[in-house]
Amino acid sequence: MVPEYCIAVAPNGKVILGFNEWSDLWPRRHRTVPVKALYASSAHFNDTSRVKIIEGRRLFEVKTRLKDSTLEARTEFDIFHALGLQLDSVSVVEGQTGLLAIPYSRIYRKWQALAWPAGLSRLAAEDIARLMQDLVGWISPARDLYTIGSRVYAWNEQEQMDIDVALLCSPSESLDFRSKLALLRSRDPRFRPSSPYFSFPMKVCVGRQEVDFFPCLPADEAHPLKDVMEWELLGSGDRRFFRICDASLGQYAWPAYRVDTWPFYVVLMSNGFRGALAPFDEISAIVDRIRLEYRDKSSLVVDMVTNPWLNLSANRELFDYNPAGL
């Protein structure tokens, strides 16, 4: 799905602004919205002095933190534990994803992604569209691209140093796009982002701005987590080794990979790992084994790497810039 943004009011009165790009992969029986928080109405998060007034509410940024005088990104699991909110949800699902499961009744306001090129300057939109059309001939900006990020809910041009773009594309198109981005960065240092951290394979510099692409799976494309009613935890904390056989679903939120041994699907539960693995990669990870119960009463067992920032082997190397390794 194309990411959307919302404000929710928790039972304890805290206000959260966050985004959701997982509803089509979320267990349907729970009747909740999976949200990664970006801002919260708690002075506890005033360490970065980043405050926004949104919908008349004073909200503190939670997606970054100061560590040793350096601003660094929080993962969804860091945010989940930092907020410490107890919402009506099933602990197995929250625990696997690090997302807040927010009841529909708690959603106060929603924003949809902006149709291209809304929210961008004319020059930035033209530069990105030209880059995309030079890289991949199948792209149609008006049909396939959406502006996302803070431009959707709190536009302030002076604060925007990077651009978030949702790209609606098939699995084969997403693989093609990933490989061409990698080739572009390896050939020309002008296109390399200043920092490799967080979903580096889907980033590129355009002019003086970093652009972070969020590939989105079309509604008619298959995915092992789609149309699932319930997740059943079968086992937790085991280490397994596997080789990537198919990475065609690896560019989307919760990258999913077909691997060489049973269970034949491994899912990384963080959108920060979009595009991080490729066929023939050999990986060691601590996994949770989950049975997926589908609407038609069938089932599938998969392994989920809960918090891959901690539980995926050599995850730091995945984000180190290495032209030969792209």
> How many whole angstroms separate alpha carbon 245 and alpha carbon 105?
42
DSSP state of 291: E
Asked whether residue 323 is assigned to any structural domain, the reply reads: no
Asked whether residue 70 is assigned to any structural domain, the reply reads: yes
> How many whole angstroms separate alpha carbon 278 and alpha carbon 264?
15
Per-residue confidence (pLDDT) for residue 20, from 0 to 100: 95
> How many whole angstroms separate alpha carbon 43 and alpha carbon 40?
9
79 and 151 in one domain? no
Q: Which of 25, 41, 37 is nearest to 77 (CA)?
A: 37
Per-residue confidence (pLDDT) for residue 88, from 0 to 100: 45
Asked whether residue 324 is assigned to any structural domain, the reply reads: no
Asked whether residue 325 is assigned to any structural domain, the reply reads: no
259 and 214 in one domain? no
Per-residue confidence (pLDDT) for residue 156, from 0 to 100: 57
For the chain, how many structural domains are there in total?
3
Query: Angle of helix 122-135 relative to helix 171-187, nearest 10 degrees?
Result: 100
Per-residue confidence (pLDDT) for residue 321, from 0 to 100: 47
> How many whole angstroms separate alpha carbon 7 and alpha carbon 79?
16
Note the pTM of the prediction, 2 decimals.
0.89
Burial of 179: CB neighbours in 10 Å, binned 0-12, 13-18, 19+: middle
Per-residue confidence (pLDDT) for residue 159, from 0 to 100: 53
106 and 22 in one domain? yes
Per-residue confidence (pLDDT) for residue 315, from 0 to 100: 60
For the domain that residue 280 is a member of, what is the CATH number? Answer: 2.40.50.140
Tens place of pLDDT per residue across the chain (326 aa): 999 999 988 777 788 899 999 999 999 888 888 999 888 887 566 555 578 888 888 888 888 776 776 777 788 888 887 776 544 444 467 678 888 888 888 898 999 999 999 989 899 999 999 998 888 888 888 889 999 988 898 765 445 567 999 999 999 999 999 999 988 988 888 888 876 555 578 888 888 788 999 999 999 999 999 999 999 999 999 999 999 999 999 999 999 999 999 999 999 999 889 998 989 999 999 999 999 999 999 999 999 999 898 898 866 556 554 544 44
Q: Which of 254, 259, 250, 265 is nearest to 300 (CA)?
A: 265
Asked whether residue 314 is assigned to any structural domain, the reply reads: yes
> How many whole angstroms separate alpha carbon 10 and alpha carbon 16?
8
For the domain that residue 203 is a member of, what is the CATH number? Answer: 3.30.460
Cα-based angle 184, 214, 210 (whole degrees, multiple of 5): 50
67 and 129 in one domain? no
155 conformational bin, left if phi > 0, alpha if psi -120 to 50, beta if neither: beta
Per-residue confidence (pLDDT) for residue 116, from 0 to 100: 93
Per-residue confidence (pLDDT) for residue 90, from 0 to 100: 42
> How many whole angstroms separate alpha carbon 259 and alpha carbon 280?
9
Per-residue confidence (pLDDT) for residue 292, from 0 to 100: 97
> How many whole angstroms separate alpha carbon 9 and alpha carbon 203?
33
Token pair of 102, please?
Answer: 């927010």
Provide the residue range defining the domain that includes 177. 113-219
